[in-house]
Amino acid sequence: MRFTLLAAIVMLSQATMAQTTVPINVERAKVNYRLNCQGCHLADGSGLPGVVPTMKGLVGNFLKVPGGRDFLVQVPGSAFSPLSDADLAELLNWILATMSDEHKAPDFEPYTEAEVQRTRRRLLADVAKTREALINSQRATSPHLQ
């Protein structure tokens, strides 16, 4: 009986871990970023003022407002990239971890292949408008943002 209970606990914790742990292959994420994103976003994610927004030290703030998590997948640079759903999920997790780790909520759940698959298909009708609304919500919750 005790053994069964212990086995059940172990199995349960493994199942939970399998759900929340998405390993990042850092080398692959770096190569995918270099090939698909860096041309616009630059190596460190600082972007081009007025043309490409900076992701460095900021991008994680989108996760704090409703719709922001989806936006990071649906934005054309992500959604229309030639990357597979699994590679895009990994790349976004890597971008968030390397460029804006401090802004992720403590209960942040990494993107998964399944989430990216269903989210990237729902195209944004108006990217600029959606982005502006999300930034306004971020300012409302984090007034220090510019």
Binding site for ligand HEC (CB under 6 A): 36-37, 39-41, 52-53, 55, 59, 72, 75-78, 81, 83, 91, 127-128, 131
Q: Which is nearer to ligand HEC, 53 or 110 (CB)?
A: 53
CB of 141 to ligand HEC, least distance (A): 16
Please answer whether residues 78 and 98 qualify as being in contact, where contact means their C-beta atoms are separated by less than 8 angstroms. no
Residue 48 pairs with which residues in a beta bridge? 52
- Which residue's Cβ lies closest to ligand HEC? 77
What is the rounded distance in angstroms from the CA atom of residue 41 to the CA atom of residue 45? 5
* Type of residue found at 126: D
Q: Which is nearer to ligand HEC, 12 or 40 (CB)?
A: 40
Q: Which is nearer to ligand HEC, 21 or 55 (CB)?
A: 55
Q: Using N-to-C axis directions, what is the helix angle for 26-36 and 85-99, rounded to 10°?
A: 100
